[in-house]
């Protein structure tokens, strides 16, 4: 039994390590899955800024539209940009070998990214790009160091400059480490407006990771109420059966 417990702990440690963002404080996404306007905006941003490379291969367009209150005309005109049919999955034409050629690795599907990482991780990641001329696309990320993708939301957020902290390494040499970023400059949105965009995008990806979450929670309340009522009835029945035993 002890071996099983230890094995479970060892398996969970990497999950907690990845969720922590490598020591970077993760900001609270504070998303609301009941806010359909936020989810609709997130879907719009995903299709326009992310879907050229990333897919949602477990989500269908018409399922998304039905859940988020999007009519078919709006869906076809504004959210299906590939000529796909409403009943098809939200995939793109990016091949694994293309991702490896352009970004150094296959581009991941994002259907489960908020369940794999966490909504807070995705939210903080999208806010943590900074200028780094040494990287292939000129940017790096506080949450995901040596990131391979470009900052596709640069036009909205602008460019953040790294803030360095100097320290002595084991060899006694002075080394600079990025500990933060400056305020963004050159973006079309204010920091508050960009935060709202990233929150909406994170909310949409959270929905995509578990479309039934709200329904599951709603049914869970009824199940718990039923079990509570069933316990009361069962306890009363047990007392009735056993009252003459003693």
Is it true that domain 2-210 has CATH number 1.10.760.10? yes
Q: Is the pLDDT of residue 10 over 80?
A: no
Distance linking the first and last C-alpha atoms of the chain: 39
- List the one residue out of 109, 108, 121 whose CA is nearest residue 31: 121
Q: Is the pLDDT of residue 145 over 80?
A: yes
Residue partners of 176: CB distance under 8 A and separation at least 6: 164, 165, 166
DSSP 8-state symbol, 77 = I
Lowest-confidence segment of 6-20, 61-75, 153-167 by average pLDDT: 6-20
152 or 236, higher pLDDT: 152
Domain residue spans in the chain? Answer: 2-210
For residue 246, the model assigns a pLDDT of 60
For residue 83, the model assigns a pLDDT of 85
DSSP 8-state symbol, 246 = -
Instruction: Please give the share of the chain, as a percent, with pLDDT higher than 70.
Output: 90
Task: Find the angle CA(77)-CA(83)-CA(88) to the nearest 5 degrees.
Answer: 100
For residue 154, the model assigns a pLDDT of 96
15 or 125, higher pLDDT: 125
Mean pLDDT along residues 142-157: 95
72 — phi, psi (to 5°)? -65, -35
Question: What's this model's pTM, rounded to 2 decimal places?
Answer: 0.82
Q: Is the pLDDT of residue 7 over 50?
A: no
226-245 burial code (b ≥16 CB/10 A, e <16): eeeeeeeeeeeeeeeeeeee
- List the one residue out of 152, 162, 246, 161 whose CA is nearest residue 201: 152
Q: Is the pLDDT of residue 12 over 70?
A: no
1 or 184, higher pLDDT: 184
41 — phi, psi (to 5°)? -65, -40
Q: Is the pLDDT of residue 64 over 90?
A: yes
């Amino acid at each position: 039994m002890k071996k099983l417990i230890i094995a479970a702990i060892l398996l969970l440690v990497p999950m907690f390590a990845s969720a922590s963002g490598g020591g970077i404080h993760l900001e609270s996404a504070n998303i609301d899955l009941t806010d359909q306007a936020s989810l609709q905006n997130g879907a719009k941003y995903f299709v326009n800024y992310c879907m050229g490379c990333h897919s949602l291969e477990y989500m269908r367009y018409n399922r998304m539209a039905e859940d988020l209150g999007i009519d078919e005309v709006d869906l076809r005109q504004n959210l299906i940009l590939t000529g796909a049919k409403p009943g098809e999955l939200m995939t793109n034409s990016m091949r694994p070998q293309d991702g490896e050629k352009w970004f150094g690795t296959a581009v991941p599907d994002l259907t489960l990214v908020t369940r794999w990482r966490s909504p807070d991780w995705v939210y903080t990641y999208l806010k943590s790009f900074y200028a780094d001329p040494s990287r292939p696309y000129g940017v790096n990320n506080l949450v995901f160091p040596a990131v391979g993708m470009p900052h596709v939301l640069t036009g909205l957020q602008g460019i953040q400059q790294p803030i360095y902290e100097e320290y002595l390494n084991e060899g006694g040499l002075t080394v600079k480490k990025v500990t933060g970023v400056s305020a963004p400059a050159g973006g079309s949105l204010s920091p508050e407006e960009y935060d709202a965009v990233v929150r909406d995008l994170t909310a949409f990806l959270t929905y995509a990771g578990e479309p039934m979450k709200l329904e599951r929670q709603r049914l869970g309340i009824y199940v718990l109420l039923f079990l509570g009522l069933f316990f009361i009835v069962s306890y009363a029945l047990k007392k009735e059966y056993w009252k003459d035993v003693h």
